[in-house]
Structure 1
């Protein structure tokens, strides 16, 4: 059986010694796309666009710092506690989406305190753009041949030639397409229903759907944590459960309050 072989160069452009990687280009695209979604939402609701520049800075810092610390301490704490300066070596790779999510939640808290905006109202709107952000970032992982799936013989299996010659689940694409679908659902609900009036409901749906998808896709991912655990589920799945529970709580809370 012939499988699709993936062996693209992770460097998109190389000019005069300057290299632009696919990951960096798609990460920038993710940020700019999320920003455009937020601009559209703010225009719909009559919010001044000037605050978005500041919000962008808070979110980017929160994502990068949170994702890096999450990778270091969720997936390989022993190594990074023994080599603390390696925590700063972000160019070597290693970002965890759970940590990035926590980083954004914390950074947005400080942002809304400064600009006097409702915290959950803002997180509801950011959830929509974050789903689109996740689509591009996971596609960037595919371009980099990282966060690969386990070996399989399904027809759509991919051989990541830079890793080995085994047909594997394209787990990055599963996750990327899941986030795109979640973005479409959330945007549709925002435009055509009254969900925007249910404070916390959009964020709750986002957390519930994203981390349900993440929990299920983890079954076909290669284990990322450097340590073993004695339970049936892996580190990514264990980290997904609290986010899912919070999502359900926010949905129930918003319906009851409204």
Structure 2
């Protein structure tokens, strides 16, 4: 029996207060700006820049990141839909942000910011901003992990995750009138087996607790529908599989019936976690580079390194991630990779200019 996998089932929601729900993604997204502002204040203080400019550049960043990331997703990944339903563009809470769009938005906003800031040229401010952008990117990818989204491809790797929250949520929502809650555990009974692609499915147990008063006959009727329900929803069909006639064990918890249903999970690479770790390391590298030189680096050098490293890694990671939209399945490279190529090229050009003296050198 092979149980060498991580079962990932945390809720995207931290807690609710009445009609207000606090989500991990929102908290981590906001934390990127708050922590980034603190780090930027430290950088500005060290280099003798006006403290009041920190709030200004932060405002530019917030607006540019959200607007650029949203428009990037809408027009890079789903242009037909959003052109036909333009009002949907404003519904950011429904999800859909693209890092390439955020990058374009930030660069554009900082160009306008730098025009009237003495001693803060366009490349100078880009060099400082990308340090905190890297940290924000790491926190956003952790938010993606908490949302169980932007997942990796199925894999037999020992570090694979089974993303179970989607299946749990689908069953609770679909059978909400009779089901109290659903939990998912690793199974010590079922045997792992491989699917047609050679991926070793992981044995799980779906514990379905019914509301008081639901008879075992009613519970059996619900259990018989579970395979079809899981297969019908995008949030669950690619992560949790239940055979048409699964093994089921009924137990009682007081007056409530519990059905323990045999299931299997599809292990996937936790691509969000890989990106979060590498982007955090990129943040540390860029900050140490700035700190060691105390700002005396060729203008554009930190920005150039950031763009080359970040989007080179993004290009590689895309080989191990599921495509975000269906049209990418027919492409030799997906949209994330196509958009990364010009970003890397821009970074290389800026680096060349910085280290051949074609950009202004900052000397305190």
Normalised by the length of structure 1, the TM-score is: 0.96
Counterpart of 1:60 in structure 2 is 62
Report the 3-state secondary structure (helix = DSSP H, G, I; strand = E; otherwise coil) of the residue aligned with 2:327: coil
5 Å-filtered alignment, 1:26-41, equals: 26-41=28-43
Counterpart of 2:16 in structure 1 is 14
The answer as to whether partners of 1:124 and 1:201 remain within 8 angstroms in 2 is yes
**How many equivalent pairs are there?**
258
Which stretches in structure 1 are left out of the alignment for 5+ residues?
none
Q: Which residue among 286, 290, 299 is the counterpart of 1:190? A: 290
Q: Does structure 1 residue 211 correspond to structure 2 residue 211?
A: no
Give me the whole-angstrom Cα distance separating, in 2, the residues matched to 1:155 and 1:29: 31
Q: Structure 2 vs 1, CA of residues 70 and 26 (structure 1 numbering), >3 Å: closer, same or farther?
A: same
After TM superposition, the runs of 4+ consecutive aligned structure 1 residues lying more than 3 A away are 193-196, 228-231
Give me the whole-angstrom Cα distance separating, in 1, the residues matched to 2:312 and 2:294: 24
The answer as to whether partners of 1:74 and 1:225 remain within 8 angstroms in 2 is no
Q: Structure 2 vs 1, CA of residues 78 and 151 (structure 1 numbering), >3 Å: closer, same or farther?
A: same
Q: Which residue among 164, 170, 173 is the counterpart of 2:273? A: 173
Q: CA deviation at 1:150?
A: 0.6
Structure with bigger strand share is 2
Q: Structure 2 vs 1, CA of residues 38 and 194 (structure 1 numbering), >3 Å: closer, same or farther?
A: closer
Q: CA deviation at 1:49?
A: 1.2
More displaced 10-residue stretch of structure 1: 217-226 or 122-131 = 217-226
Q: Structure 2 vs 1, CA of residues 223 and 229 (structure 1 numbering), >3 Å: closer, same or farther?
A: closer
The answer as to whether partners of 1:66 and 1:103 remain within 8 angstroms in 2 is yes
More displaced 10-residue stretch of structure 1: 188-197 or 230-239 = 188-197
Look at both structures and tell me which one has the larger radius of gyration over its CA atoms: 2
Q: Which residue among 26, 32, 44 is the counterpart of 1:24? A: 26
Q: Structure 2 vs 1, CA of residues 151 and 38 (structure 1 numbering), >3 Å: closer, same or farther?
A: same
Q: Which residue among 127, 130, 133 is the counterpart of 2:133? A: 130
Q: CA deviation at 1:56?
A: 0.8
Q: Which residue among 39, 51, 55 is the counterpart of 1:49? A: 51
Q: Which residue among 321, 330, 347 is the counterpart of 1:247? A: 347
Q: CA deviation at 1:16?
A: 2.3
Give me the whole-angstrom Cα distance separating, in 2, the residues matched to 1:228 and 1:32: 35
| Two-structure CA RMSD over aligned residues (Å) | 1.4
Q: CA deviation at 1:89?
A: 1.2
Q: CA deviation at 1:86?
A: 1.1
Report the 3-state secondary structure (helix = DSSP H, G, I; strand = E; otherwise coil) of the residue aligned with 2:88: helix
Q: CA deviation at 1:194?
A: 6.9
Give me the whole-angstrom Cα distance separating, in 2, the residues matched to 1:11 and 1:101: 27
Counterpart of 1:140 in structure 2 is 143
Q: Which residue among 320, 330, 339 is the counterpart of 1:220? A: 320
Which stretches in structure 2 are left out of the alignment for 5+ residues?
167-238, 240-264
The answer as to whether partners of 2:72 and 2:97 remain within 8 angstroms in 1 is yes
Report the 3-state secondary structure (helix = DSSP H, G, I; strand = E; otherwise coil) of the residue aligned with 1:168: coil
Give me the whole-angstrom Cα distance separating, in 1, the residues matched to 2:116 and 2:71: 25
More displaced 10-residue stretch of structure 1: 13-22 or 127-136 = 13-22
Q: CA deviation at 1:188?
A: 1.4
The answer as to whether partners of 1:171 and 1:220 remain within 8 angstroms in 2 is yes
Report the 3-state secondary structure (helix = DSSP H, G, I; strand = E; otherwise coil) of the residue aligned with 2:155: coil
Counterpart of 2:159 in structure 1 is 156
Report the 3-state secondary structure (helix = DSSP H, G, I; strand = E; otherwise coil) of the residue aligned with 2:65: helix
Q: CA deviation at 1:230?
A: 5.2
Give me the whole-angstrom Cα distance separating, in 2, the residues matched to 1:14 and 1:115: 43
The answer as to whether partners of 2:298 and 2:354 remain within 8 angstroms in 1 is yes
Structure with bigger helix share is 1
Q: Structure 2 vs 1, CA of residues 99 and 127 (structure 1 numbering), >3 Å: closer, same or farther?
A: same
Give me the whole-angstrom Cα distance separating, in 2, the residues matched to 1:226 and 1:109: 35
Counterpart of 2:110 in structure 1 is 108
Normalised by the length of structure 2, the TM-score is: 0.69
Give me the whole-angstrom Cα distance separating, in 2, the residues matched to 1:108 and 1:194: 21
The answer as to whether partners of 2:290 and 2:297 remain within 8 angstroms in 1 is no
